[in-house]
Each structure stands twice: as structure tokens, then as C-alpha cells.
Amino acid sequence: MAAARATGDVRLAGPRWTGEPPHILDLVEPRLGGRASAVADGTGTFSYRELDEVSRAVAHALLARGARPDEPVVVHGTASRHTIAALLGVLRAGCCYVPVDAEFPEERRRLMAQGCGARFVLVPEENEAGAVAGLEHVALATRQRTGQPSGPADASGGTHTRRGTHAYTCFTSGSTGLPKPVTIAATSLGWSTAARLRHYAERVGAFLLCSSLSFDSSMAGIWWTLASGGLLVVPGGRPGDLLAVARAAERHHATHLLMVPSLYGVALRGGLAPRLRTLTTVIVAGESCSPALVARHLAELPQAELYNEYGPTECTVWATVHACAPADARARAVPIGRPIAGVTLHIAAAPDTPGTGELYIAGLGLAVPGTDAERFVDLHGTRHYRTGDLVTVREDGELLFHGRADHQLKLGGVRVERAEIERALTSCDGITDAGIGVSGAPRPRPVGFVVTGGTALDEQRVRAQLLRSLPTTALPARVIAVPALPRLPNGKVDYGTLDRRAAEVRR
């Protein structure tokens, strides 16, 4: 691996984007009307013609009820072909969809609906019992008669749809309090999707949708697939049900997959690689990708390209990407890559962490003004999003991620990032996953929680191995084996829970 160079204030630009970014419907609507399969779930399939009809009926139902341009509309449900049609229908009504997962706790669903200011909620029949109260319901029928696609009645009787400025509102994940709403423009979603069509040479044949509709990673797969004319596959079961993913991959000959790295690692360690043999493109995002994961992927699914993506919700899913190679399996860290087309990065020197800088992002994917305003700043006359993430730039121009500024610990006078300790732990014999919890005042104390896959943990041996890569002050006070790490609904590690557990651990 090339040595990382010290970062002052650095500017990096992706390939130039020429012309205006497209509206997302400019990319999807030309595909509608065909006989090819568009969306499949455990109970059936919509063709592109049926997706056109159902989504148009949704749009007409909203327009007949007086939905205003860019008005937020809650789509309440779990991933299915009906909820995908509902998302498209909201866009075709010129409104902004707000996906609320029906499996979220009731209070969280209520706060999300209140936080976006919606009047209407689209509800598939199977999710009506737990739907958000206080909103005007628009039912989505899920039972079909032969030749009749499901959907609300077309109250307007016409064929008119309209285009709005906004596409969707997602809520950023958080371990405490109400996450903040992030609204993305329809042209930003169009740019993000068109950038995928440009960057990835392998056409989407069948994409496995593995995340909740409430999280922005699902937007990548949904709109990339539909803009490609491919098949969007919704595995049965809850998001993260790896056996359901494997069954769906075999049934539909899946070609593309996007997962958080830790979940993908579980799939490979669980022996599911043979059932994923049709994959040609695997993308990991949302967490740090470890060299060990790259090594396992290359050994078990060598026919599939592996990509490591990075991008905050506020920047329309992605901003950088790295094509993983054998050298990454032997490196200390896997890069997050270079900026994609239409993205410019500014790396501001961090005085407290020499050699690293805080990452700012500008470009066509920034959330609409008014979203989390304190995180958006003006740099050199251009609007940027302040990520709070620390990076360095390798000599070859690739970015290395060093964790978040707010996850830094000062231990014995030395600044250490949680992710650095976690990487050191997963490099130890027998440890397959690791998370660092930190006790509170008066003196922060890291505690390692590790998954061993059932093998006995030798804490002293682990500590001896950690000394090869960590300063003594950064060693965890304890290393404790757990069956699994606690996770937030989007699959990321729940550090709030780990911190609480760390505070309860005795030396």
C-alpha cells in the first residue's frame, strides 16, 4: 500500500459532470410499459407495464385528494412490489415520498411522520393495522384479479402525472433522540442514479434489495435497477435475513448486491457464497470495509467485483468508490476510493490529529437547503456538507477513512479512533467482529466487545496480539466475548448500547 501523505487543505474533484442532472423520472419512465419483470417479492412479480399502471393509479389517487407539489407523503410498509410501486407513484404525483418501515417501533414511526409534516399515508393492506395514526390513509390493495394490477382506484380517470422538485425524505440514523429528516431533490436522485449507470460497467440484471426502505442505501438499488430495466428482487423476511437473501439470489439469478460490510461478512462466514455464485457486482457501504472481508470475498466469490462505497445520507447515498483488489486484502485498511463524477471534496487539516483532515463534500447530490443547516458550510463560495469524518489521501489519490472526529478518544495523551482499535481486534486470531464501547467520565476507558464464532476467547493472547499494532495506552481495559454486536435498524453498530455496557464492566 502506498504511504498516506500528510493532509493540509486538499481539494479533490471527480470526473466532470456535463449538462444538467436528470430528474429521476427521466431515467425511469422510459422503461415503463414493457413486458419485462420489474419488481419481484415473495408473493409475485410486477412487470414494467404493471408497475406503470399501479404507480400511475397511486399518483392519480393523491392528485384527486389535492396533494400539493413537493408535499411529503408517508409510505408505510415493508419492502414489497406494492411499496416500490407506491414510491414511484408518489414521485409521479409530484410529491416527496417518506418511507416509514412498518417494523419500526410505534413511537419511532409516529415521530418520523410528525417530523416530515405529512398529511397522507399510503398503506398496503397487510400493514394497515400498525399504520401511523393522524394521517389521511390511502389504501394500496395487495390482492389482484386476473389482468388487473393492484392499487388505489384511479379517482381522476385521467392519465396526467406531474413532476416535483423533491424526491424523498430519509431520517438519519441515531442511537438516541429523534433522527433528523434529510430531503433529497429529484435531480439529485437522478444524478446519483445516472452516476451509477456511468460508473458501473456491469448492467443490473437482478438486484437484491437487502436494507429497509427507511434507509438511504435502499434508494441506490431501487432506482439504479429500474433505470437499467433490470429486476428488483425483494427477498422475503426482514432486512438482514441472509437465508432469505440466499434463496432469492438462487431463484432470480441475482447479479448485484449492496450490504453493510459486517452483514456481508456474516453471509460469507455462514457458508452462503455458493448460493450467491451468480453475482457479478457486490457493493459494501455504511461501515468500514476490512482487509479480511476483501480476502474472504476474493477467495469465495472471485467472479464478482467488490466495491467499497462511501457517502452520507445528506449527499444522496454515495460520494466516493473504490474497486477492491488483492492488494487490499494485505493492507492495513481498505480505501474508500476517489470522488465520483460531479463530486468535489475538500479536506481541511485537523490540528488535533496531524496527518489527517476532516472531509467536506460538494456537488450535485447535496440535500435541499434547510436540511440539517448547521452541517452545511460555504467554502470558497461553494456549498459543502461537513461530514465529521477523518481521512488521509494516499499517494495514488485514494482516500483512507480514519473514523469520525466525534468518535476520537484521548487515551494517555494519545488520540485514538474507535475504528483503529476495532480493526486491530478483528486482526486477532479467532475474532470475526468487534466493537468498542467507552465508559464515561472521569477517565474514558475503551472496552472491546468481540464475536468469536463460538471459539473460546483467550483475553491475554488477544492483548499480546494487540500490542503489535496499538500503543499501550490504546489497549482495551477488557475484551469480552458476545454472541453478536448490538445494531441499529440500519445494520450499523449501536455505539450507544456499547458505551452503556462498557460503563457496567468492572476491571
Q: What is the pLDDT of residues 461-502, one digit of tens each?
A: 999 999 887 877 788 999 999 999 998 766 778 888 999 999
What is the per-residue pLDDT for 177? 46
Alpha-carbon Rg of the chain, whole angstroms?
A: 23
Tracing cell 460538494 back to the chain, one arrives at 362
The burial of 499, by beta-carbon neighbours within 10 Å (0-12 exposed, 13-18 middle, 19 or more buried), is given as middle
Q: Where are the domains of the chain?
A: 24-144+162-330, 416-504
β-sheet bridge partners, residue 207: 232, 256
Amino acid present at 297: H
- At 54-80, the pLDDT tens digits run 999 999 999 999 999 999 999 998 899
CA 217 to CA 206: how far, in whole Å?
16
The whole-model pTM stands at 0.82
CA dihedral (234, 238, 243, 244) in degrees, to 10, reads -30
The fourth-level CATH superfamily of domain 24-144+162-330 is ANL, N-terminal domain (3.40.50.12780)
**C-alpha cell belonging to residue 187:** 435531480
pLDDT in tens, 220-257: 999 999 999 999 999 987 777 899 999 999 999 999 99
- Cα 491 to Cα 479: distance, rounded to the nearest angstrom: 22
Is residue 4 very low, low, confident or very high in pLDDT (cuts 50, 70, 90)?
very low
At 141, list the grid cell. 390493495
Q: Which of 423 and 223 is assigned the larger pLDDT?
A: 223
DSSP string, 152-219: S--TT-S---B--SEEEEEE---SSSPPPEEEEEHHHHHHHHHHHHHH--SPPSEEE--S-TTSTHHH
Categorize the per-residue pLDDT at 505 as very low, low, confident or very high, splitting at 50, 70 and 90: confident
Per-residue model confidence as pLDDT tens digits over 445-469? 899 999 997 788 999 999 999 988 7
Q: What three-state secondary structure class fits 458?
A: coil
How many angstroms separate the CA atoms of 13 and 223, rounded? 25
Q: In the numeric block, which cell numbers belong to residue 273?
A: 457464497
Q: What is the amino acid identity at position 83? A: T
The pLDDT value recorded for residue 176 is 39
Amino acid letter, 431: I
Establish whether the linkage from the previous residue to 444 is cis, with ω within 30° of 0: no
For 105-119, the pLDDT digits (tens) are 777 788 888 888 899
Q: What is the pLDDT of residues 391-410, one digit of tens each?
A: 999 999 999 998 777 666 76
How much is the pLDDT for 129? 53
What would the pLDDT profile of 130-169 be if each residue is shown by its tens digit? 566 678 888 665 444 334 444 444 433 445 789 999 999 9
The residues with which 480 forms a beta bridge, in sequence order, are 449
What pLDDT score was predicted for residue 119?
Answer: 92
Could you tell me if 190 and 87 are in contact, meaning their C-beta atoms sit under 8 angstroms apart? no
Confidence of residue 321 (pLDDT cuts 50, 70, 90): very high
Domain over 416-504 is classified CATH 3.40.367.20: no
Q: How many residues does the chain have?
A: 507
**Per residue in 327-384, pLDDT tens?**
999 998 999 999 999 999 999 986 666 668 999 999 999 999 876 677 899 998 999 9
Spatial neighbors of 168 by CB under 8 A, at least 6 apart, are: 87, 96, 97, 98, 99, 183, 184, 189, 219
